[in-house]
Homo-oligomer: A and B are copies of this chain.
C-alpha cells in the first residue's frame, strides 16, 4: 500500500512533504499559475505550480502528487500542495462525457445513468451513496441493540406469492421460478426461530410503469418481530430505527449532507398517527375532494396529509393506520373491533409513502380462511403455512425502501438519482 496522506487529513501535515493520490478533478491554468484539484475518497485538495511545471494531465487521470503542505486561507481546507511533482498512474482513454468538476452534472438524467460508472464520481452523486450507507448502518445498529438477528433469505422462490403480479420469471434448472418480491414469508417464518429478524437486501418488482418512484430492483430494509400487542409495537421499533438512521447519517455522512444542502428530519419521540378513516374525513373537509369510501389514499392525498402533519404536529413523518383490509395483503391482521379495517400502517415521509407495515395473522386457521376468502388455494401456500402449523406468536413488521429514503433526504424527485445502477422497464445496464 502506498503511504499516502488523504485529502481530508492534509491540514494536519502543514510544513511536511507528503504523497497525495487520487484523480485529477480539475485542471485550471491561469496566466501565472496552474491549479490541480485532486479528488480522493475523502474530498478535494489543491496543488499549485507555475505554468509549465506540471505535466499536461487531463481530468480523471489517476495521479500521485508529492509536494509540501502549505497553509493558504484561500485554498479548500486552508492548505495546498506547493512544489508538486505529479506522476500519472493511469491515464484516461477519453474525457468524461460531462465535466465532473461542475457544481452539478450538465447532462440529462438518462445520460447520467447511461454513464453511471463515471457519473457517480461526481461529489453530489457520491454523497447520496454515502447517505445510503450511513442510513443502513444506523438501521442495523438500532435493531441489533433491540435483540434482532440479521438474516439472508432466498431471492429465488417457487411461487409468485406476494401478489402474483409484477413478478420476474427465471429459468431454474429448466423449471420456472420467480424472483422474490419481498422476504415477507421468510421473515415471518423466522419470527418462529429468532422472534426478531431483519434483512437488508434486494427485492424485485417487474413494475410495468415508468414512474419517478419505482424500480425493478431496490434495497429493502425489512424487519419482523414477535410477541407484539398490535401494530403499534411495530411502529415503535420503526421509530427507533428511523432515529438511528438519522443519527448515523448526521455522524457518518456529515460531509455528504453538507454538500447536498440536505436538511435532516427530526424524528419525534412519538411520530403522529392518524387513522385512515379520520384521514379521509380530514381530506373531505379541507381539500374539496371526497375520498371517503375509497380503499386507499392517492399520492396527492398523502402529500396533503404530510403537509398537514408538518403544520399541525411539526413532524415530517406521519403514520396512517387502519387501512381497509380490501387493499392489504392476505396476511394482514384485521382490527378485531372493525374487521373490515386492518392493524396496518403506512409511514409518509416528506409527502411520499416510505414504509408499509403492520401486524400479521399468526394462526394457521386464520391463514386458511383469509386465503380462501380471496379465492386462493391454501395448498399453493403449503411451504409458507408450515411455519404457522407449529405455533407462531402475534407478530408484525415493516419494509422500508432505501432508495426512496435516500432520495427524500437528498431532495430528489426521481428515485433513480439515489440509486447506484438503477434497473427499470427500460434500463438493464450499466
Selected contact of A62 from candidates B153, B393, B423, B429, CB within 8 Å: B393
Partner of A158, one of B96, B388, B428: B428
Report yes or no: A149 in contact with B133, Cβ–Cβ below 8 A.
yes
Give the secondary structure class of A's interface.
mixed
Distance A149 CA – B173 CA, assembled complex (angstroms): 35
A171 at the interface (CB under 8 A from B): yes
Flag whether A170 is at the interface (Cβ < 8 A): yes
A244 CB to closest chain B CB, in angstroms?
15
Contact A151 B117 (CB under 8 A): no
Task: Give the docked Cα–Cα distance between A186 and B421 (Å).
Answer: 9
Query: Is A101 part of the contact surface with B, judged by Cβ < 8 Å?
Result: no
The answer to whether A428 and B172 touch across the interface, beta carbons within 8 angstroms, is: yes
* Bound CA span A207–B274, Å: 50
Asked if A35 is at the interface (CB within 8 A of a chain B CB), the reply is no
Residues of A in contact with B, size category: 35 or more
Would B155 and A21 count as touching, CB distance under 8 A?
Answer: no
Query: Are B206 and A173 closer than 8 Å at their CB atoms?
Result: yes
Please tell me if A308 contacts chain B, counting CB pairs below 8 Å: no
Residues of B within 8 A of A157 (CB): 428-429
A308 to B147, CA, bound (A): 41
**What is the 8 Å Cβ interface bit string for chain A, positions 136-157, against chain B (1 contact, 0 not)?**
1100100010010111111111
In the complex where A152-B202, A393-B90 touch, is A386 in contact with B115 (Cβ < 8 A)? yes
Tell whether, in the assembled complex, residue A430 and residue B129 are in contact, meaning their CB atoms are under 8 Å apart: no
Which of B92, B383, B388, B394 makes the CB contact (< 8 A) with A390? B92
Q: Is the CB of A171 within 8 A of B173?
A: no
Assembly CA distance A132 to B194 (angstroms): 13
A34 contacts partner chain B, Cβ-Cβ < 8 Å: no
The docked-state distance in angstroms from the alpha carbon of A255 to that of B300 is 51
Q: How far is the CA of A219 from the CA of B152 in the complex (A)?
A: 7
**In the complex, are the beta carbons of A150 and B173 less than 8 A apart?**
no
Q: Nearest Cβ in chain B — how far from A174, in angstroms?
A: 10
The reply to whether A193 and B126 form a contact with Cβ atoms under 8 Å apart is yes
Residue of B nearest to A203 (CB): B155
**Within 8 Å CB of A365, what residues of B?**
93
Residues of B within 8 A of A45 (CB): none
- Of B177, B201, B389, B391, which contacts A61 at CB under 8 A? B391
> Per-residue 0/1 for A1-37: is the Cβ within 8 Å of any B Cβ (1 yes, 0 no)?
1101000000000000000010110000000000000
CA distance A363 to B90 in the complex (A): 7
With contact pairs A61-B391, A420-B190 given, residues A150 and B170 touching in the complex (Cβ less than 8 Å): no
A235 to chain B, nearest CB (A): 11
Instruction: Decide yes or no whether A106 CB sits under 8 A from chain B.
Output: no
Residues of B within 8 A of A175 (CB): 428
Determine how close the nearest CB of chain B comes to the CB of A231; give it in whole angstroms: 12
Residue in B96, B170, B195, B394 whose beta carbon sits within 8 Å of that of A169 in the complex: B170
User: What are 8 A-B interface contacts by the 8 Å CB criterion?
Assistant: A60-B390, A93-B388, A120-B193, A129-B193, A151-B420, A173-B216, A186-B421, A384-B430
